[in-house]
């Protein structure tokens, strides 16, 4: 479909990549998912899956609601759920958090962060792992966020580097790295014997800039800032946990010598997802020895609102198909599994129209995992079915948070697409 892809892949792969080693895959404990070439493997059998995202599961304070959610997810054939392993607040937010039973694991002040292992602290995450295991579901657990949401990297930057620091010092400042690693070690040590952990994830959607802070000139296409951080942190996690898989959590942007271009308003534009502008270099990052599989995200509507303009030469659907194939091809060449870890469209009609084609293409291109953003649970009972979390996230009339991408179980035209894909993946897992 796109000859240019292959050429630039070969150029950028160069000699930087060595064949991935399987040094630990033969001795992982039983029940742990591992990799074997471009497939996942569980107890000697291939393991392919449909998964979903639910950042809010640890925010629930009602155990029955956690169970009901996993029960419904399992009934849809879904095997893997991704959730946040971070929930950090400022000390000034404590009164609010306590007034609504908001889950938080880290409280920041100028002395650094304090861990919350209480009943609205890490015990909520403990319970999520416990309930997932009962329903034979495994979790991808993410250590921090590029974005402000639920206390990401910018809290480390604010409190440890101070006013005026740019977002990208998160990746380079030794004090910040030590603080991040201390938190990572806390989480990894807590669950490192659990087969319910599918994989550890270094950061959600790492970029040079965030929604709050800008990037410095040091973080630029080709600087390798994110790649070196991925290398350092994946090596660190492997040093404390030899068995669980590790991935980046990135959006999967490429850094190509000849990035893709497209027409917008009759002008030729360089595609920011292919020119390294955001900070990632998907091929280099996936080649790292302790990055076990590739992940990428896909939000075509929000990334390219201009595709709806006259004078654009391709559609949301086609751009998505191209993005799916580019990642499948890279993973094939590197020899590791590929997972579309988040994707979403707003509007039920948009989902119904486009998801079948996208999901089919992920299956046709041998994706080991297909995970939509995000799971929508109905009939939650906590606080009578109405409970605010943070920002605009809330349980409303028993329905889990709705960001427009949410797929609720009553939206059967969409849910059926995933249930059918789950059946295909289950066949491939035999
Ligand atoms: C990897 O998968 C192949 C089949 O695709 C199988 O023959 C081989 O035994 C597997 N390797 C391990 C270490 O399980
Ligand atoms: C946390 O505190 C820092 C420093 O006072 C502030 O810059 C930041 O906006 C606060 N973040 C949140 C999420 O409240
Ligand atoms: C917080 O949870 C406790 C039980 O753990 C409950 O008694 C209390 O009503 C809850 N408070 C709010 C504001 O939801
Ligand atoms: C930060 O919080 C910790 C834990 O509550 C506390 O011991 C410490 O005194 C606080 N530091 C400052 C400067 O307020
Ligand atoms: C859009 O235009 C660019 C630049 O001419 C071209 O590389 C790309 O293949 C076109 N896309 C489609 C879907 O025609
Ligand atoms: C499209 O291009 C025309 C002509 O250059 C310009 O006047 C118009 O503002 C552009 N529209 C958008 C949405 O960028
Ligand atoms: C469906 O997608 C189109 C194209 O992105 C967008 O303009 C429209 O708002 C979407 N519909 C809904 C209900 O979100
Ligand atoms: C779930 O809630 C909906 C309303 O949102 C209701 O129509 C339905 O009967 C409920 N289902 C169950 C199993 O309670
Ligand atoms: C499904 O549930 C959601 C949340 O309660 C509701 O907004 C929607 O109208 C229901 N029905 C369909 C077909 O989406």
Ligand 1 atom nearest to CA at 36: 1
Identify which of 137, 241, 231 has the alpha carbon closest to the alpha carbon of residue 184.
241
Q: Note the pLDDT of residue 314.
A: 79
For atom 3 of ligand 1, the residue with the nearest CA is 36
| pLDDT at position 266 | 85
295 close to 246: Cβ distance less than 8 angstroms: no
Q: How far is Cα 65 from Cα 380, in angstroms, rounded to an integer?
A: 6
Locate the domains of the chain by residue range.
2-428
Atom 2 of ligand 5, residue of closest alpha carbon: 262
Q: What is the pLDDT of residue 308?
A: 67
- What pLDDT, on a 0 to 100 scale, did the predictor assign at position 324? 98
pLDDT of residue 11: 36
* Ligand 9 mean position, distance from CA 378 (Å): 9
Residues identified as active-site: 205, 342
Angle between helices 316-334 and 348-364 (to 10 degrees): 30
pTM: 0.93
- Pairwise CA distance, residues 254 & 284, whole Å: 9
**Domain 2-428 is found in CATH 3.20.20.80:** yes
**Distance from chain centroid for Cα 249:** 4
Question: What's the pLDDT at 265?
Answer: 83
Distance CA 201, CA 250 (A): 9
Nearest CA to ligand 9 atom 5: 399
pLDDT tens figures, 150-196: 999 999 999 999 999 999 999 999 999 999 999 999 999 999 999 99
H helix runs in 279-382, sequence order: 282-287, 300-303, 316-334, 348-364
At residue 15, the pLDDT reads 35
Region for residue 15 given its phi and psi (left: phi exceeds 0; alpha: psi -120 to 50; beta: otherwise) = alpha
Query: How far apart, in whole angstroms, are the C-alpha atoms of residue 425 and residue 275?
Result: 33
Rg (CA), the chain: 21
Give distance in angstroms: CA of 52 to centre of ligand 8: 22
The minimum-distance atom of ligand 7 relative to the CA of 300 is: 5
Both structure tokens of 34? 């591992």
Residues with C-beta less than 6 Å from any ligand 5 atom: 261-263, 268, 313-314, 318
- Ligand 9 contacts (CB < 6 A) are 378, 399, 408, 410-411
Phi/psi for 171 (5° steps) reads -85, -10
Nearest CA to ligand 8 atom 1: 379
Q: Looking at the CA of 68, name the nearest ligand.
A: 8
Taking CA atoms, 317 is separated from 148, 299, 314, 359, in Å, by: 29, 11, 8, 11
CA distance 207 to 277: 9
Return all residues near 184 (Cβ < 8 A) that are at least 6 apart. 143, 200, 233, 236, 237
Grouped pLDDT means (10 residues each) for the chain, 430 residues: 33 39 66 96 96 98 98 98 98 97 97 97 98 98 98 98 97 98 98 98 98 98 97 97 97 97 88 96 98 98 80 87 98 98 97 98 98 98 97 98 98 98 97
State residue 298's pLDDT score: 98
Closest ligand 9 atom to residue 348 Cα is 14
CA nearest to 311, candidates 263, 261, 262, 260: 263
Q: What's the confidence (pLDDT) of residue 301?
A: 93
Interhelix angle for 348-364 vs 412-428, to 10°?
Answer: 10
- Three-class SS string for 76-123? CCCCEEEEECCCEEEHHHHHHHHHCCCCCCEEEECCEEEECCCCCCHH
């Amino acid at each position: 479909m796109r000859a240019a892809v292959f050429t630039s892949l070969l150029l950028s792969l160069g000699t930087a990549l060595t064949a991935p080693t399987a040094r630990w895959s033969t001795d992982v404990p039983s029940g742990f998912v591992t990799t074997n070439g471009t497939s996942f493997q569980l107890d000697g059998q291939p393991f392919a899956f449909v998964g979903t995202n639910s950042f809010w599961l640890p925010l629930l304070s009602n155990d029955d609601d956690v169970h009901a959610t996993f029960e419904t997810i399992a009934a849809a054939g879904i095997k893997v759920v991704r959730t946040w392993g971070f929930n950090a607040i400022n000390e000034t937010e404590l009164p609010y958090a306590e007034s609504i039973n908001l889950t938080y694991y880290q409280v920041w002040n100028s002395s650094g962060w304090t861990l919350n292992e209480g009943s609205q602290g890490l015990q909520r995450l403990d319970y999520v792992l416990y309930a997932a295991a009962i329903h034979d579901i495994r979790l991808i657990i993410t250590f921090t966020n590029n974005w402000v949401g639920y206390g990401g990297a910018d809290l480390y930057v604010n409190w440890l580097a101070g006013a005026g620091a740019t977002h990208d010092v998160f990746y380079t400042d030794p004090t910040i790295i030590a603080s991040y690693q201390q938190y990572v070690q806390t989480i990894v040590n807590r669950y490192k014997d659990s087969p319910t952990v599918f994989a550890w994830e270094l950061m959600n959607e790492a970029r040079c800039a965030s929604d709050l802070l800008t990037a410095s000139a040091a973080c630029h296409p080709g600087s390798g800032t994110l790649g070196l951080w991925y290398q350092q942190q994946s090596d660190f996690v492997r040093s404390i946990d030899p068995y669980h898989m590790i991935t980046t959590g990135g959006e999967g942007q490429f850094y190509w010598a000849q990035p893709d271009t497209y027409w917008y308003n009759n002008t030729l534009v360089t595609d920011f997802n292919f020119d390294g502008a955001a900070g990632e270099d998907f091929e280099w990052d996936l080649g790292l020895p302790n990055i076990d599989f590739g992940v990428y995200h896909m939000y075509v509507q929000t990334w390219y609102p201009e595709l709806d303009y006259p004078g654009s030469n391709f559609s949301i659907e086609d751009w998505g198909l191209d993005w799916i194939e580019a990642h499948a091809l890279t993973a094939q060449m590197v020899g590791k599994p590929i997972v579309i870890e988040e994707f979403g469209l707003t509007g039920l009609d948009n989902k119904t129209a486009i998801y079948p084609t996208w999901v089919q293409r992920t299956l046709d291109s041998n994706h080991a995992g297909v995970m939509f953003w995000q799971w929508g649970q109905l009939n939650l009972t906590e606080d009578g079915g109405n409970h605010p979390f943070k920002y605009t996230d809330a349980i409303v009339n028993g329905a889990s948070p709705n960001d427009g991408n949410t797929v609720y179980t009553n939206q059967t035209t969409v849910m059926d697409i995933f249930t059918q894909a789950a059946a295909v993946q289950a066949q491939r897992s035999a």
